[in-house]
């Protein structure tokens, strides 16, 4: 079955530690995205990548970093510079063709204390 | 700047009745796309329906239809014959033209509760 996997489902970290969230897709999609969702809010774009070895900042990139070395993988690192890292993180991918609908993974809930 | 507005934080509907979830948008881009996603309590975002700015007809997918009124910049989601499993958060989202990189801008969401 094709889809997007994110691991782990729940992640706990101490303040000051960097943490990397995994996102893998086997849909053969060119584009991948990372969103952050806070309680009662919509999704906000952190980073996106339209092609391997290239990525762009979204609306709230500060304190985050990404890499896109393989088409299937788009890991997100939450650095210690991110002031409020506790949130629900969703990864998505989309095909390069119209209408570019995005398909989402199950999400990772990160708690930093 | 592009913006999506969902003015209904919460909605209630009786099972088997129809419900309309409101969405208005703002963009100066002549080419754009509008999406609706469902987010159950598990957290995953489920793609429901898409409407392109140049589409002449309103989109439909099973029990979901999109009431697209371009002049009013609205893209309301209509769910017919509501089911208990429709209880979830619903998000309206907009994608700009190709030079926007396919990224989506989301509204704040509407929480739908279906009563038995």
Instruction: Find the mean pLDDT for residues B43-47.
Output: 93
B64 and A CB contact within 8 Å? no
Is residue B16 within 8 Å of residue B82, measured between CB atoms?
A: yes
B69 and A CB contact within 8 Å? no
State percent of chain B over pLDDT 90: 84
Distance from CA of B82 to the nearest CA of A (A): 23
Reported as a single tens digit per residue, the pLDDT across A3-21 is: 999 989 999 999 999 999 9
Tell me which residue of A37, A12, A8, A9 sits closest to A113, measured CA to CA: A12
Predicted local confidence at residue A99, as pLDDT: 73
Report whether pLDDT(B84) > 90.
Answer: yes
State percent of chain B over pLDDT 70: 96
Start-to-end Cα distance in chain A: 36
B50 and A CB contact within 8 Å? yes
B contacts of A105 (beta carbons < 8 Å): 44
Predicted local confidence at residue B101, as pLDDT: 66
How far apart CA B20 and CA B13 sit, in angstroms, is: 10
How far apart CA A80 and CA A82 sit, in angstroms, is: 5
B90 and A CB contact within 8 Å? no
Chain A (15-74) residues lying within 8 Å, Cβ to Cβ, of chain B: 31, 33, 35, 40-45, 48, 50, 56, 58
Report whether pLDDT(A69) > 90.
Answer: yes
Reported as a single tens digit per residue, the pLDDT across B95-114 is: 876 666 678 999 999 999 99
Predicted local confidence at residue A1, as pLDDT: 65
Report whether pLDDT(B1) > 90.
Answer: no
């Amino acid at each position: 079955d094709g889809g997007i996997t994110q691991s782990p489902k729940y992640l706990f970290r101490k303040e000051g530690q960097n943490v990397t969230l995994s996102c893998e897709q086997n849909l053969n999609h060119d584009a991948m995205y990372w969103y952050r969702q806070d309680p009662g809010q919509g999704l906000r774009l952190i980073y996106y990548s339209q092609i391997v070895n290239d990525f762009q900042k979204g609306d709230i990139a500060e304190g985050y970093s990404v890499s896109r070395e393989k088409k299937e993988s788009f890991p997100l690192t939450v650095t210690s510079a991110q002031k409020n890292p506790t949130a629900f993180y969703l990864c998505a991918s989309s095909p390069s063709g119209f209408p570019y609908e995005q398909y989402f993974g199950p999400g990772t809930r990160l708690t930093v204390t | 700047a592009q913006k999506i507005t969902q003015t209904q934080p919460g909605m209630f509907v009786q099972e088997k009745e129809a419900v309309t979830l409101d969405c208005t948008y703002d963009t100066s881009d002549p080419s754009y796309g509008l999406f609706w996603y469902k987010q159950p309590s598990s957290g995953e975002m489920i793609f429901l329906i898409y409407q392109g700015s140049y589409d002449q007809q309103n989109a439909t997918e099973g029990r979901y239809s999109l009431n697209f009124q371009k002049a009013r910049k609205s893209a309301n989601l209509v769910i017919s014959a509501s089911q208990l499993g429709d209880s979830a958060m619903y998000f309206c989202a907009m994608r700009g033209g190709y030079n926007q990189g396919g990224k989506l801008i989301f509204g704040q969401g509407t929480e739908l509760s279906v009563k038995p």
